[in-house]
Structures are given as structure tokens and as C-alpha cells.
Chains A and B, each alone.
Chain A
């Protein structure tokens, strides 16, 4: 079964540094999502793409976070500068229209 690919699996960075995560959705899935999951909580949506366009970034801290999906396929989520409170699991998901989401295994970020 096709999977959503994410890299890296783990990332440790110092505060004030820049960090980037990559996601490759399932082929043909036009909708791509980035979620943040703080330890002990449910995932929260950061940004949603439909093809290359952002359709919802209302919960994205835009002063430090950015996301792009230039060709409507893979996507990058960047944090600059990282803060201690950014330590979390960052999950990417993709879907066909009106279909359930398929999640990747996530990137666990630790900011020291």
C-alpha cells in the first residue's frame, strides 16, 4: 500500500536555529496537510494545501513557520527560528477529495 513519506524521522536542533521537514504524499493525492502533535495531545492542523495553493493556514505561526508545495506534489515545512515550545511530532497527511487522510510516520523535533 502506498505511504506518505516524511523525513527526517528525528531532528534535534538548538533554539534559534532553522529546521526543515519534508513530506512526499501518496501519488495523486491533491490535498496535503501538516499537523503538529504535542506530547500527550491530539494533532492540530497547521496548514492545508489543495494542489499548490494554501487553503487553510489559520493556525500556522507565520512569524516563524512557513510551508510550501511549489509543484503541488511534495512539501516542505520550515521553522526559523526554532523555540523550545516547538518540540513536538510534525505529521504530514494526504488525501483525495472527501476521502480519509493517510498519515506519514512523522518527524519528531526536539529543540534544546
Chain B
């Protein structure tokens, strides 16, 4: 069975400093991995996806993530945080071809001025 573990329930950074949101996955198959962002009282928006092509994936709003099979990790990073990045972030795994997403518990990102 597929699963993801988000290692931090809450991350707080200052505006202009780097962001790191950690995610480890478990999958018996070659996984598809995603990061979604959710702003308060909104639906989820896709930030980026990994589907076995390049291991470094670039997404929207300056975010990127690196797939590391040896570490079973898919951490999300951004070089410089912006106030508008404050939101809940979800790491998601999908069994290839199954279209059945399994969400992590989420990481709440707070940006300090």
C-alpha cells in the first residue's frame, strides 16, 4: 500500500528565507508523487508532480521538489519565502495508473514578516 509521512505538522520561516517541507513516501511500486497547497477555506491547488521523469521537479510559484529513491523522500523547497506562501501543504502519492491519491497529514507553513 502507498502512504506518505509529512515530518513536520508546522513550519515557520521568515519572509525571504528558504522553505523546506519534508515528505517521506512508502510505495511498493514506482510512485507518482505530488505536492498540493491549500489556502484557508479553499480547495487544493497542484504545485508540482513527479512521474518518473526528471528527479528534480519545478512547480508553480518558485517551488521545486526532488525525488530521492534511496531516501524515499520528496521534499518541497523554495529559495525565498513570500507572505503569500502561508498555507497548508500536502504531500500526495498515487499508485501509477490507479488514480487513487493518498494524502499526508499536511504541513502548515507560517511566514513571519
Real binding pair: yes
With contact pairs A100-B34, A100-B49 given, residues A45 and B100 touching in the complex (Cβ less than 8 Å): yes
Binds B, one of A11-19, A61-69, A72-80, A103-111: A103-111
CB distance from B51 to the nearest CB of A (A): 9
Task: Say if the beta carbon of A97 comes within 8 Å of chain B.
Answer: yes
Chain B residues near A108: list those with CB within 8 A: 41
Chain B residues near A56: list those with CB within 8 A: 100
Complex: A104 Cα to B105 Cα, angstroms:
19
With contact pairs A98-B97, A100-B49 given, residues A105 and B103 touching in the complex (Cβ less than 8 Å): no
Number of chain B residues whose Cβ lies closer than 8 Å to a Cβ of chain A: 18
Chain B residues near A95: list those with CB within 8 A: 99
Complex: A108 Cα to B97 Cα, angstroms:
31
Interface string of B92-107 (1 = CB under 8 A from A): 0000010111011110
With contact pairs A100-B46, A104-B43, A105-B42 given, residues A42 and B99 touching in the complex (Cβ less than 8 Å): no
Complex: A10 Cα to B104 Cα, angstroms:
25
Number of chain A residues whose Cβ lies closer than 8 Å to a Cβ of chain B: 24
Interface string of A27-54 (1 = CB under 8 A from B): 0000100000000111111001000000
> Whose C-beta in chain B lies nearest to the C-beta of A50?
B99
Would you call A98 and B43 a contact (CB within 8 A)? no
Q: Besides the contacts A43-B44, A91-B43, what 11 more A-B pairs have beta carbons closer than 8 Å?
A: A6-B43, A42-B90, A42-B104, A42-B105, A44-B103, A45-B100, A48-B99, A100-B34, A100-B49, A101-B44, A101-B46
Q: Which B residues are within 8 Å of any A CB, using their own CB?
A: 34, 36, 41-46, 49, 90, 97, 99-101, 103-106
